[in-house]
A and B are shown apart, each in its own frame.
Chain A
Amino acid sequence: MEFSWMQLMAIAPEMVLTAGACALLLFDLVIPKEQKDKLGYFAIGVLLIACYGSWKLADVETDVFSGMFVLDPYSAYFKVLVYLAGALTILLSMTYLEVERIHLGEYHAFVLLATAGMMVMVSAGDLIMIYLGLELLSISLYTLAGFKRHESRSVEASAKYLILGSFSSAILLYGISLLYGIAGTTNLKALGAFFAQGSLDNPGLFMSMGFLVVGFGFKVAAVPFHMWTPDVYEGSPTPVTAYMSVAPKAASFAVFLRVFAESLGALKAHWQPILITLAIATMIIGNVVAIVQDNIKRMLAYSSIAHAGYALIGIIVGGSLGTMSLMLYLMIYAVMNLGAFGVVILLRKGTLRGEEIADFTGLAKTNPIAALIMLIFMFSLAGIPPTAGFVAKFYVFMGAVEAGMAWLAVIGVLLSAVSAYYYLRVVMVMYMREPEGRFDLATSPATQFALVVTTVAILFFGIYPTPLIDYTKAAILQAP
């Protein structure tokens, strides 16, 4: 295997992230407790540098390390998404960590490592690389989920996530090895070429396809592999929940689509019905169960399950419109969900946990701006114009109708109407009930900045989505 500077350049952003994470661990030892928030800014700096690198490489289309690592606009798009999510998460974490008395610098290091894992995933040109990236991501997340060590819920979340996550990884790995046994390669493009001409009646092939669906289905929290989500989301520190609900999900979807379009595209007729069933079940269970949740983190967990169902429609549809709608959906979802969690984090102050929907009672009277921001995110998640959430749903349904699956779109929109009910509930308690006492919000310039950025983005791209659409369109996956 030849080695060149080109190869190192290609993975420079990932190296920056990893080096940054290591440096953070070192700084953590020497920095005094009360200055730990400086580590957060350092982590954001690392993310910005890496993001600049990825941005520079966005137009490069090449594969390095014998096709293990692919650079293309598609991966660059998801990298930007993940950087964005990582930076917003750290901004939202800083005050929260102080309130929760988590003075561990490793927190930011693990966010960086998880980010690096996702970089590897979305750039992977080989099933093995996908697995490596996924594990780097997952292990970081298992740790992050348990960061509130003194709280049993957090420890439970971490343990549950670890056990079920390893289980699903093992299933995924089994699927990968079956594929290798059949095709003799783990390279995504080579697999695609093999199945394009090879005979498809191998029973092992369908088993491996099923295992891949299980593995990815777990990572994106699609029904029936979603059982871990509410517990893990509820127990994890809120910024970690916010992060988990968007970034790993987006990266997993990116890989999901790449594998199924690039390698298993020839088997579309076989996996399409499976994914349709999953998508419908996911939308139904997610939306219906979310209605009865009183804990806002659990509600948002079920809502994120439901959103995975809409995103699955993008994979099912495929083609340029399907790919575009999936990418657009994940980008917009990331921003609006991080924003919504941002407001939840604001409410964590002093004795107030801010995790029950009832905690939002009367917020519009005491903190009109926070309430207005939450209102915008709730309507955006429900897909009501003029917010970006509408744009996201619009293109997903457009893809479904174009593919002749208008009935799937109809199911989607009807369940969207159901979802409005639980999003409205938050708006309702904020605006239509009287506050019981004074709220004192955990705001800081960092959280304010993060919330302003997300709100402005959601409104701007809701009214004028053209720049975002053009950007997405330029990055769609060119599947064979």
Chain B
Amino acid sequence: MGDSSFPIVSLVVFLPLVGALVLLALRDVEAVRWTALGATVAALLASLPLWSDFDRGSHAFQFVERYDWIPTFNIEYAVGLDGISLLLVLLTTFLSPIVILCSWRSIEKRVKEFMASVLLMETAMLGVFVALDFVLFYVFWEAMLIPMYLIIGVWGGPNRIYAAIKFFLYTLAGSLLLLVAMIALYFAGGHTFSIPALMGQPYSPQFQFWVFLAFFLAFAVKVPMFPFHTWLPDAHVEAPTAGSVILASVLLKMGGYGFIRFCLPMLPQASALFTPLILVLSVVAIIYGAYMALAQSDLKKLIAYSSVSHMGFVMLGLFVFTVQGIEGAMLQMVNHGITTGALFLCVGLVYDRTHSRLIADYGGLAKTMPIYAAMLVIFSLSSLGLPGTNSFVGEFLVLLGAFITYPVFAVAASLGIILAAVYMLWMVQRVAFGEVNPKIARHPDLNLRELATVAPLAVAVFWIGVYPAPLLDVLHVSVDHLLEQTRLTSGDVAGLGWSDLWGMVRAAFAS
């Protein structure tokens, strides 16, 4: 366990914010770029000790820092990590320098504001994953909206304003309900906002039902689950490359993280009650997303819909209540971050050159840009879950876990993998192989900076694909503990069944 006297978690979280403040004082555009890169690299380096000093044998939150924040209401500034948070924190710090690098040349107007927004995003996202106080969590959760709104709305494509507002309002409406549910937990859980303390409390089944409903809306919009996903393709298509990468790689994980951190351990009975619904929606998302991806002629839309499909696997894994399922879901969140983020980078790389995202405008890139094509093939194979790549391990674990408790859903979900192979290979075939499209024949291959953005991700793809044990080691004890918390009561769902629901709704309106 790390030396708790040194506030290393806060350091990681706030380094990007400090970077953003420094940026505001700078005038030179190059200096702005290097400072932004420096801040993200610093956060990455600072997060490494978290990985090396993490005690993999303990499920407790580690590197905990606590200070009074608003003592009147027992609100604390409390941060700390367990295995689940740790992976997502590392994912965020790992991807942030890449996000800065990928917008090095593609963002040319208002560079300072852009870089500052990205850094603010990083702080907000890291804060979400390490917050141990619900109010703190909520502040980070919501604060993220402001820079993301600007990133999409200022630096996005032609229809950016519509997409930005849709993104903002969808997420806000969901998360405001989270706010009310959080306050309700405060009163029901003994006047505390401390997440570990709230986890250890039994709540009445009826109470769990309402709180779960509010949580569900907030997190389902973020994931996004079918049918709350409609903001996602719009946001992805309009966002600049960096925005898409942040959105796909980290932002969507906040939804899954919410389900793991709050729904399962705090509301086990309601989680059990909602399981069938969530499983059905997940499988629908997997197949629907894949079908939609199949039909797209726009590269970004294709990957956006594949995201919907992949996040369906994550939700499926979470709600099958087995170790394999949850570990697979967690791993899949990391994998999706790496692979889908990389695919969006790939789209951005060619878009910078050709200013087209239409598949029909490409063809034969393997001949003109061989390094690029190799990268595209790697990430596409990873996305469709080829053995040896990261997604295979994740999807395999999810399906394995699902097969133990819900074999029907596992079988239905595997359809999604087949479809993924179809749309991904077809896309690669049309973009990278075949006749060279004369329109794009003269563009240069990746330069060193561009290679530096995608190469680390390619390494990660194979590393996790071949040797996922280090990641799973980190997760194992935390996931075991999580399942213990859900099993405590999920055996007796008798207190809460769908048949009681009507009575509860009536009672709520009668009171």
A residues whose Cβ falls under 8 Å from a Cβ of B: 364-365, 368, 375, 379, 384-386, 390, 394, 397-398, 401-402, 406-407, 409-410, 413-414, 416-417, 420-421, 424, 427-428, 431-432, 464-466, 469-470, 473
Could you pull out 16 A-B pairs where Cβ atoms are within 8 angstroms? A375-B146, A384-B145, A384-B146, A386-B143, A394-B135, A394-B183, A406-B180, A407-B508, A409-B180, A410-B180, A413-B176, A416-B176, A417-B172, A424-B149, A432-B164, A466-B72
Stretch at the interface among B153-161, B326-334, B420-428: B153-161
B146 and A379 contacting across the interface, CB-CB below 8 Å: yes
Besides the known contacts A397-B183, A398-B186, A424-B169, 13 further A-B residue pairs in the complex with CB atoms under 8 A apart: A384-B142, A385-B139, A390-B139, A390-B142, A397-B180, A401-B184, A414-B173, A416-B172, A417-B173, A424-B165, A428-B161, A432-B161, A470-B72
Nearest chain A CB to B171's CB is how many angstroms away? 9
Q: How far is the CB of A192 from chain B (nearest CB, A)?
A: 28
Complex alpha-carbon distance, A431 and B154, angstroms: 6
Residues 121-160 of B, flagged 1 when their CB comes within 8 A of A and 0 if not, give: 0000000000000010011001101100110011000001
Q: Would you give the shortest CB distance from B118 to chain A, in whole angstroms?
A: 16
Please report which residues of chain B, range 54-80, place their CB below 8 angstroms from some CB of chain A when the two chains form the complex.
68-73
Against A, the Cβ 8 Å flags (1 = close, 0 = not) of B154-197 are 10000011001100110011001101100110110000000000
Given A402-B187, A420-B172: A413 in contact with B179 (beta carbons within 8 A):
yes
- 1/0 per residue, CB under 8 A from A, across B316-349: the answer is 0000000000000000000000000000000000
Residues of chain B within 8 A (CB-CB) of A427 are: 149
In the bound complex, do residue B138 and residue A432 qualify as a contact, i.e. CB atoms below 8 Å apart? no
CB of A232, distance to nearest CB on chain B (Å)? 30
Residues of B within 8 A of A385 (CB): 138-139, 142-143
Bound Cα distance from A406 to B207, whole angstroms: 12
CA distance A265 to B344 in the complex (A): 61
Q: Decide: B169 and A421 in contact? CB cutoff 8 A.
A: yes
Q: How far is the CA of A365 from the CA of B113 in the complex (A)?
A: 11
Give the residue name and chain of the A residue nearest to B176 (CB): A413
CA gap between A401 and B211 in the complex, in Å: 12
Within 8 Å CB of A402, what residues of B?
183, 187
The residues in B between 219 and 264 inclusive whose CB is less than 8 angstroms from any CB of A are none
Q: B160: which A residues are within 8 A, CB to CB?
A: 432
Q: Enumerate chain B residues within 8 angstroms of A417, measured Cβ to Cβ.
A: 169, 172-173, 176
Report yes or no: A466 in contact with B138, Cβ–Cβ below 8 A. no
Q: Roughly how many angstroms separate A402 CA and B110 CA in the complex, as a whole number?
A: 46
Question: B161: which A residues are within 8 A, CB to CB?
Answer: 428, 432
With a cutoff of 8 Å between Cβ atoms, the chain A residues found around residue B113 in the complex are 364, 368
Instruction: Tell me the complex Cα distance, A385–B140, Å.
Output: 8
* A65 → B minimal CB distance (Å): 35
Which residues of A lie under 8 Å from residue B184 when comparing CB positions? Answer: 401, 406
Question: Which chain B residue has the least Cβ–Cβ distance from A470?
Answer: B72
Q: How far is the CB of B204 from chain A (nearest CB, A)?
A: 14
Given the known A-B contacts A398-B183, A431-B150, A473-B72, are A410 and B169 also in contact in the complex, defined by CB atoms under 8 Å? no
Number of interface residues of B (CB under 8 A): 37
Q: Is the CB of A466 within 8 A of B179?
A: no
Q: Is the Cβ of B177 less than 8 Å from the Cβ of A432?
A: no
| Residue of B whose beta carbon sits closest to that of A465 | B70
Residue picked from A364, A421, A432, most chain B C-beta under 10 Å: A432
- Say whether, besides A379-B146, A385-B138, A386-B139, A401 and B70 are in contact (CB < 8 Å): no
> A368 to B113, alpha carbons, bound, how many Å?
10
Q: Report Cα–Cα, A414/B135, bound state, in Å.
A: 19
Q: Is the CB of B69 within 8 A of A420?
A: no
Per the bound structure, the CA–CA distance linking A398 and B110 in Å amounts to 40
Known: A385-B139, A420-B168, A464-B69. Is A413-B180 also a contact (CB below 8 A)? yes
A421 and B186: CB pair below 8 A?
A: no
* Known interface pairs A384-B143, A470-B72; A432-B180 also in contact (CB < 8 Å): no
When C-beta atoms are compared, the residue in chain B nearest to A431 turns out to be: B154
Within 8 A of A (CB), among B270-317: none
Nearest chain B CB to A409 CB, angstrom units: 5
A396 to B180, CA, bound (A): 11
- In the bound assembly, the distance between CA atoms of A401 and B210 in angstroms comes to 13
**In contact, A432 and B72 (Cβ under 8 angstroms):** no
Q: Judge whether B176 and A432 touch: CB under 8 Å.
A: no
> How many angstroms from the CA of A155 to the CA of B306 in the assembled complex?
61
Distance (whole angstroms) from the CB of B150 to the closest CB of chain A: 6
Assembly CA distance A407 to B505 (angstroms): 12
Residues of B within 8 A of A398 (CB): 73, 183, 186
Tell me whether B176 and A401 are in contact (CB under 8 A): no
Give Cα A470–Cα B73 distance, bound, in whole angstroms.
Answer: 11
